[in-house]
Structure 1
Amino acid sequence: MGFIRNIFALLGVVAVGLAIWLGPALYKYKVAFDGFDDQAFDTYKSMMDRLAETGNSAAATVWKAKVAEGLTFEDVDQSIKQVAIDRNIKGVGELPLGDQVAAMTGKPWRKLNIYLYCNPLTAAKMVEYDPAYAAYLPCRVSLVEDNTGQLWLYTLDGCVSKVVEIDFRHLRAG
């Protein structure tokens, strides 16, 4: 019985030591998150969960959704463009990278379009807040055909993905 008591005592000492050692660092993060948007913690937690699951930092920072069966690349292409018009978001570019790869290699390649959108007033607010946000502009939505022919929507996780998730729910599988 004394052995078990000593083990628990040792565990208690280790726990108190860890709390003293890690406490200030963890408190720093708690204070920082207190000033963030209410959904920030959940967004960052889901990113960390995806990073742990995939081991891929790019996959951890994006939102993706499988496109519903029966919708063609052209259907989704037109829907993406219509959602931008409906939301009064300016299309500032489109990159038909799949077609470009096929043209450069002379061989058919899967479909991949990247759509670039920007609301100039929102972009200005982002850059005024912190010029580092300029690296995220313009906002991108990608339509990707995977190796099996299935279509997927991708965008950065966070605010952009919430708009895409709402507006494109009619395109998503499941």
Structure 2
Amino acid sequence: MTLIRNLLAVIGALTLILVIAIALWLMPRLADFDPEFLPTYSSFASDLLETGDPGTAMMWSVPVEEDLSTDEVIDSLKSLATTNNLLFVGESPFYQQVEAVTGEDYRYVNFLSFCDAQVGKMMLEYRNHYSGFMPCRIALVEDREGKLWLFSMNLDFMIYGGRELPPELKQEAISVRDTIRAMMQGAAVGEF
């Protein structure tokens, strides 16, 4: 019994030393990270563990009301973008590309792109890698059961996912994020 108790004490002590060493190694590396870094990745990890799907955990999704057509949702998105000073900068009707390549009908999938050129410029001046987040895209997708959904990348990873952004850039990025979320919510119910 004494041997087991001593063995458990040694294991506990080694575990404590390991935890302290990891904490001392991580603390200086995380010192400049955004204060919302841990909640952002905790939410991602929770969603990932729940669904087992990183795509689901990285995306926002909003169901579209049943009585709305694809054209009504697109018109709503464009109108809401204009109201919120975002430019509609492109559309990629993916379903048409699939049909052209396969020769078979495909369910509706369309990628709509929106941009705030001034915020985009700020992002690029900060770091060229941020071009991968631009322009903001909202996908209008008909699922296998025929229901329409809106999807967009969770921009919190760009805003909070690492070192804290400069204050003005962070404020503008949050504004664009909030606008994209509001556009998705509004278009899902047909707001103009």
TM-score over 0.5 for the pair:
yes
1:91-106 matched pairs, under 5 angstroms: 91-106=88-103
Question: Is structure 2 residue 33 aligned with structure 1 residue 41?
Answer: no
Q: Residue 63 of structure 2 corresponds to which residue in structure 1?
A: 66
Aligned residue number for residue 171 of structure 2:
none
Q: Tell me the percent identity.
A: 33
Aligned to 2:129: 132
- Is this contact kept in 2: 1:61–1:157, CA < 8 A? yes
Superposition pairs for residues 1-174 of structure 1, below 5 Å?
A: 5-6=5-6, 9-33=9-33, 36=34, 38-158=35-155, 159=174, 161-170=177-186, 171=188
Change (3 A) 1:163 1:40: farther
RMSD, aligned CA: 2.5
Structure 1 equivalent of residue 168 of structure 2: none
Query: How far did residue 102 of structure 1 move?
Result: 2.4
1:21-76 Cα deviation digits (max 9, x unpaired): 3122331354133xx2x444322322233333444443332222222333222221
C-alpha displacement of 1:146: 1.2
Asked whether the 8 Å contact 2:62–2:149 carries over to 1, the reply is yes
Query: Helix, strand or coil: the match of 1:144?
Result: strand
- Verify the 8 A CA contact 1:126 1:134 in the aligned structure 2: yes
- Give how far 1:92 is off: 1.3
Contact kept in structure 1, 2:137 and 2:153, CA below 8 Å: yes
Aligned partners of 2:102, 2:16: CA distance in 1, in Å?
A: 62
The 3-state SS of whatever aligns with 1:168 is helix
Return closer, same or farther for 1:61/1:25 CA change in 2, 3 Å cut-off. Answer: farther
Q: CA deviation at 1:101?
A: 2.0
1:71 and 1:14 mapped to 2: Cα distance? 61
Once the two structures are TM-superposed, the CA of residue 3 in structure 1 deviates from its matched residue by 6.7
Q: In 2, Cα distance between the equivalents of 1:130 and 1:46?
A: 25
Cα distance in 1 between the residues matched to 2:22 and 2:40 = 23
Aligned 8 A contact 1:63 1:161 in 2: no
CA contact (8 A) 1:43 1:157 kept: no
Give 1:77 deviation, angstroms: 1.4
Question: How many Å separate the matches in 2 of 1:167 and 1:39?
Answer: 24
Aligned pair in 2 of structure 1 residues 29, 148: CA closer, same or farther (>3 Å)?
Answer: farther
Q: Distance in 2 between matches of 1:41 and 1:68?
A: 34
The structural deviation recorded for 1:122 is 0.5
Q: Cα–Cα, structure 1 residues 161 and 119, in superposed 2: closer, same or farther, change >3 Å?
A: closer
